[in-house]
Chains A and B, each alone.
Chain A
Amino acid sequence: MTIQGQIKAYITSQPEAKRSDMQELHNTILNVMPKCKLWFLDGKNSEGKIVSNPNIGYGSYTIKYADGTTKEFYQIGLSANTTGISVYILGLEDKTYLAKTYEKKIGKASVTGYCIKFKALKDINLDVLEEAIQYGVEVTG
Chain B
Amino acid sequence: MHEEIKKYNDQQASADKAICELLAQTIDKELTKAESKIWHAHPVWFLDGNPIVGYSKQKAGWRLMFWSGADFEEEDLNVRGAKFKDASIFFTAVDQIKPTAMKRWLKKSRSIQWDYKNIVKRKGKLERLK
Q: What is A's interface to B at a CB cutoff of 8 Å?
A: 41, 44-47, 49-52, 55, 63, 71, 73, 77, 79, 82, 88, 90, 114-115
Contacts and interface: CB of A to CB of B under 8 A. Distances in A.
- For A44, A50, A55, A115, the residue with the greatest tally of chain B CB atoms inside 10 Å of its CB is A50
* B-side interface mostly: loop
Given A82-B37, A82-B39, A49 B123 contact: no
A55 B86 contact: no
A114 B119 CA distance: 12
Nearest to B123: A73
Nearest to A55: B120
20 contacts: A41-B124, A45-B83, A45-B84, A46-B83, A47-B79, A49-B56, A49-B65, A50-B40, A51-B67, A51-B86, A51-B116, A52-B51, A55-B120, A71-B125, A73-B123, A77-B120, A82-B37, A88-B120, A90-B120, A90-B121
Contacts of A55: 120
Interface of B: 37-40, 51, 56, 63, 65, 67, 79, 81-84, 86, 116, 119-121, 123-125
A71 B83 CA distance: 18
Interface of A is mostly: strand
Contacts of A77: 120
B120 A51 contact: no
A66 to B, nearest CB: 14
A39 to B, nearest CB: 9
Contacts of A88: 120-121
Contacts of B56: 49
B101 to A, nearest CB: 22
Contacts of B79: 47
